[in-house]
Structure 1
Amino acid sequence: MKNIFIASTSTTHGSNYLDYILKDLNIFFKEINTILFIPYARPDGISHDTYTKKVQEAFLKIKKDVIGIHTFENPSLAIEEAEAIFVGGGNTFVLLNQLYKNNVLSVLKDSISKGTPYLGTSAGSNICGLSIKTTNDMPIVYPPNFNALGLVPFNINPHYLDTIKNLKHMGETRETRIKEFHCYNTQPVIGLREGSWLHVKGDSIVLKGPLTARIFEYQKTPYEVKPETELNTLK
């Protein structure tokens, strides 16, 4: 049975890495001793070692060990034997490209589908959707295709931002970009605001956190859903 924590971000304004959800993660990873970390997204281009150290320091606060997948000779076997898995944020194109390059996308999906607890933040949340076509990241590398894990029946837009009144910026809003996406694609998109996450438990998908999420469905007017809303009917 799938057990997935899909968070918009790893850091909210004014907080340290993962601090805003550590209490919830302590419950989520209650039975877990060691978490396999996949640092492929490399925020700011940092090394896998540097990124892993940052994650290790955060999880020490809830007494969990973290080991980076890049330290294993066989990454597929590391995923298969993992107690739990965390994929952090950074560049979604870089992340997906490395998953394809290491030939671990399918084994990652299989492990999560069989019940290995999974935490994703930002880019690690983007890949939970059907594709990464609604990421905010620059396509600095070109993965074999944009298809992702498909753990939920929609796409995700982490770090979703609302239009700011009186802002002089004349560029496209996130809502405009997602509407453009729906000119060529039909799957729903969830605009996940900072401080929000989705908890997937089996077939249930529930919005968590203090904020609403914005739902975009093909040829429908976007609408808001409140925390604790069940979202498994979106298809």
Structure 2
Amino acid sequence: MKVLMLSSSRKRDEEYLQHGLSFINSHLNAIKEVLFIPYAGVTLNWDDYTQKVQDALPLLTITGIHEYPNAKEALQSAKAIFVGGGNTFNLLSHLYQQDILVDIQHKIKQGTPYVGWSAGSNICGNSIRTTNDMPIIQPPSFEALNFVPFQLNPHYTDYQAPGHNGETRAQRIEEFCVLNPNMPVIGIREGSALLLENGRLTLKGELDAVVFTASCTEKTKIAKTKQTIIKRKQDLSHYLQK
């Protein structure tokens, strides 16, 4: 599989998708025709969303999956698949509604390049249970594409606003780990990406990422959480083992 999971569409104040251009071009390896899945868009309609991606990537030909009369047939002929950010619940709900989760999995397992950012990366994991989004719609299941057998948290940050008394991102992820001690969560910061290629998983970009895990001792039966920092270009292939 060739799967590029970008944390975000922007890094700091850079233009849309520009920080990921080198990652994307290398990943596509001269492929110019892309099928775009804009289902995460809610306040941005899908035609405008597709055009936004086209404007950001003028050397590619971007066609929205919604422009085809049959989504399954569109996937069959796709040379590369992009899935954009927005609301992860809306994205997954539409993938189930169109009944194309398995179709996407088959295409990617056959070697078709996949690029996702934000919500489009979230669905690459085991489920969407560690998304940052509000559940504005209820998909039939939280189970996702499972390209990687762990959870993802794009846009990961350690920032806590002064005077804010709600849980930090880390605390929320730790809660997930306590209830799911056998499921790691990798938090990737804006401007970073995970690359799955040739059975190898690596961290791309300038910033470190964080892996959250939890383990339960036989004596206490209470799960203890742990954070592990992973460095850029670090080989993370051991996290592909189920």
Structure-1 residue corresponding to 2:13: 14
Secondary structure, aligned partner of 2:179: coil
* Residue ranges of structure 2 left out of the alignment (5+ in a row): 216-224
Correspondence for 1:176: 171
- Equivalent positions of 1:47-66 (< 5 A) are 47-60=45-58, 63-66=59-62
- CA-CA distance at 1:230 after TM superposition: 1.3
Give CA-to-partner distance per residue, 1:11-45, whole Å, 9 cap, x none. Answer: 122111101111222222232121000000005x2
Structure 2: which amino acid aligns with 1:33?
Answer: K
Alignment partner of 1:46 is 2:51 = no
TM-score by length of 1: 0.95
Q: What SS is found at the alignment partner of 2:96? A: helix
* Cα distance in 1 between the residues matched to 2:142 and 2:126: 9
Moved more, 218-227 or 145-154: 218-227
Structure 1 residue aligned with 2:194:
198
Deviations 1:75-105, CA, capped at 9 Å, x for gaps: 0111121000000000000000000000001
SS in 2 for 1:86: strand
Residue 100 (structure 2) aligns with: 104
Aligned-partner Cα distance in 1 for 2:109–2:213? 25
Query: What is the percentage of aligned positions where both structures have the same residue?
Result: 46
Q: Secondary structure at the match of 2:201?
A: strand
Residues paired across the two proteins, number: 230
Q: Which residue of 1 aligns with 2:34?
A: 35
From 108, 119, 123, the counterpart of 2:119: 123
Shift of 1:163: 3.8
Cα distance in 2, alignment partners of residues 28 and 191 from structure 1: 21
Secondary structure of 1:221's counterpart equals strand
Q: How does 1:113-192 map to 2 (within 5 A)?
A: 113-164=109-160, 167-185=162-180, 186-192=182-188
2:229 maps to 1:224: yes
Determine if the alignment matches structure 1 residue 78 to structure 2 residue 74.
yes
Hey, which bits of structure 1, 4+ residues long, moved more than 4 A?
A: none
Q: Which amino acid aligns with 1:49?
A: D
Tell me the secondary structure at the aligned position of residue 179 of structure 1. helix
How far off its partner does 1:112 sit?
Answer: 0.7
Q: Partner amino acid for 1:87?
A: V
**Structure 2 counterpart of 1:209:** 205
Deviations 1:111-156 (A, max 9, x none): 1111100000000000000000000000000000100000001100
Over the residues paired in the alignment, what is the CA RMSD in angstroms?
1.2
Q: Tell me the SS of whatever aligns to 2:214.
A: coil
CA distance in 2, matches of 1:221, 1:75: 42
